Amino acid sequence: MIVGELRLITLDQVSKSFDGGNTFAVNKLSLQILPGELFVLLGSSGCGKSTTMKMINRLIEPTSGRIEVNGQNVLDQDPVNLKRSIGYVFQGIGLFPHMTIEENVGIVLKLLGFDKAKRYERSKELLDMVSLPLETYGKRFPKELSGGQQQRVGVARALAADPDILLMDEPFGALDALTRDDLQQEILHLKHTLNKTIVFVTHDLFEALALGDRIAIMHAGQLEQVGTKEEVLQNPATDFVKDLFEKPAKQLAAFQEIQQELQEGLGE
Ligand SMILES: Nc1ncnc2c1ncn2[C@@H]1O[C@H](COP(=O)(O)OP(=O)(O)OP(=O)(O)O)[C@@H](O)[C@H]1O
Ligand SMILES: [Mg+2]
């Protein structure tokens, strides 16, 4: 196997400091993301997930280290083309509030030079894909949609230019559990039907386990472990990873203890 040809995104000893080298938001991070995989970056708030994502498409430049996309150093690629070739679903909603849903999806297509008729056709196709028919939702403004619907528009917009790579930064962070489940299923469906490579950021353990072909666990700017769910659950590489995955079991035990106490209380 020629591994080199299979890597779609490579981070090699990538670091980012925002304060001239006193502290590092990302610290010597090395990762390889393979074509067609759904790669999850998991970690708590402030551990460097968004910074890592933004360095992949050059929204942020690394302080040191090397990033390759499609076998080529991102520094040697035209930043505008690079950004257009990578779909980005931003953390938070990130839709333009003064544009309609149709315009929000079509803006990328406009930048790509699609004429009005083609923009309409493609926007319709994209909005159908995320179950928001253009006839019903196209002329509405973002504030006239629920949070989950707005997130779907964000996904449609990121897919507009048919990118091979989709970066999704906590796309469902603010949603309730049921809506989240639905959208997770949609992402898995999109991944299988459209054959995209997806880098998905979350701080939710269960979301990571539900979605990730592989999961990278980050802590304080560094990588603790990367592996399949079997690998990280069965062979945690560090105490941090072990504690992380033991937490739900501890919470369950605490919950059961409370239930037990209540039952005993009722029985008296
Ligand atoms: N533009 C910036 N200027 C200065 N510091 C920054 C900047 N962006 C991020 N940081 C700092 O870098 C660290 C990592 O931030 P980052 O946004 O990557 O975290 P995150 O893992 O995405 O967190 P969250 O889950 O809360 O979104 C944090 O300490 C943050 O305060
Ligand atoms: Mg973030």
Asked if 95 and 103 count as a contact pair (C-beta separation under 8 A), the reply is no
48 alpha carbon – ligand 2 mean position (Å)? 7
User: In this prediction, what percent of the chain has a pLDDT beyond 90?
Assistant: 66
Asked if 221 and 18 count as a contact pair (C-beta separation under 8 A), the reply is no
Q: How far is CA 266 from CA 180, 252, 255, 261, 262, in A?
A: 36, 21, 17, 9, 6
- Domain enclosing residue 185, as ranges: 3-226
Residue 68: pLDDT over 70: yes
Give the number of the atom of ligand 1 that is nearest the alpha carbon of residue 218.
21
Whose alpha carbon is nearest atom 27 of ligand 1? 45
Residue 247: pLDDT over 80: yes
Asked if 161 and 83 count as a contact pair (C-beta separation under 8 A), the reply is no
| Predicted pLDDT of residue 267 | 64
Ligand nearest to the CA of 51: 1
- Domain count of the fold of the chain: 1
State how far the Cα of 131 lies from the Cα of 133, in Å rounded to an integer: 6
Residue 17 Cβ contacting ligand 1 at under 6 Å: no
Whose alpha carbon is nearest atom 26 of ligand 1? 45
State how far the Cα of 171 lies from the Cα of 205, in Å rounded to an integer: 15
Residue 111: pLDDT over 90: no
| Token duo for residue 178 | 């049921």
| Per-residue pLDDT band at 268 (split at 50, 70, 90) | low
Residue 49 Cβ contacting ligand 1 at under 6 Å: yes
| Token duo for residue 18 | 């925002």
Residue 203 Cβ contacting ligand 1 at under 6 Å: yes
Mean pLDDT of 200-207: 92
169 alpha carbon – ligand 2 mean position (Å)? 7
| Predicted pLDDT of residue 130 | 86
Q: What pTM was estimated for this model as a whole? A: 0.89
Q: In whole numbers, what is the pLDDT of the chain averaged over residues?
A: 90
Residue 22 Cβ contacting ligand 1 at under 6 Å: no
Asked if the structure places residue 232 within a domain, the reply is no
Q: In the chain, what's the furthest Cα-to-Cα distance?
A: 75
State how far the Cα of 46 lies from the Cα of 28, in Å rounded to an integer: 16
Asked if the structure places residue 268 within a domain, the reply is no
Asked if 217 and 43 count as a contact pair (C-beta separation under 8 A), the reply is yes
| Predicted pLDDT of residue 6 | 64
Asked if the structure places residue 58 within a domain, the reply is yes
Whose alpha carbon is nearest atom 16 of ligand 1? 48
Residue 48 Cβ contacting ligand 1 at under 6 Å: yes
- Residue to probe by mutation, ligand 1, list 11, 17, 18, most atoms within 8 Å of CB: 18
Task: Give, in degrees to the nearest 5, the angle at Cα 36 between 35 and 41.
Answer: 85
- Residues pairing with 72 in the sheet: 69
**Across 2-11, 20-29, 105-114, 215-224, least confident range:** 2-11
- 3-class secondary-structure state, position 123: helix
The number of CA neighbours under 13 Å toward the Cβ of 117 is 0
- CA proximity to 129, closest of 77, 87, 187: 187
| Predicted pLDDT of residue 37 | 95
Asked if 224 and 237 count as a contact pair (C-beta separation under 8 A), the reply is yes
Position 267, amino acid: G
pLDDT tens for each residue of 168-178: 999 887 777 77
Asked if the structure places residue 236 within a domain, the reply is no
Asked if the structure places residue 258 within a domain, the reply is no
The more confidently predicted of residues 230 and 266 is: 230
State how far the Cα of 261 lies from the Cα of 29, in Å rounded to an integer: 46
CATH code, domain with 95: 3.40.50.300
Position 177, amino acid: A
Asked if the structure places residue 48 within a domain, the reply is yes
pLDDT tens for each residue of 116-160: 999 999 999 999 988 899 999 999 999 999 888 898 899 899 989
Asked if the structure places residue 168 within a domain, the reply is yes
| Per-residue pLDDT band at 1 (split at 50, 70, 90) | very low
Asked if the structure places residue 82 within a domain, the reply is yes
- CA proximity to 183, closest of 147, 145, 152, 140: 152
Asked if 156 and 82 count as a contact pair (C-beta separation under 8 A), the reply is no
Mean pLDDT of 41-55: 95
| Per-residue pLDDT band at 2 (split at 50, 70, 90) | very low
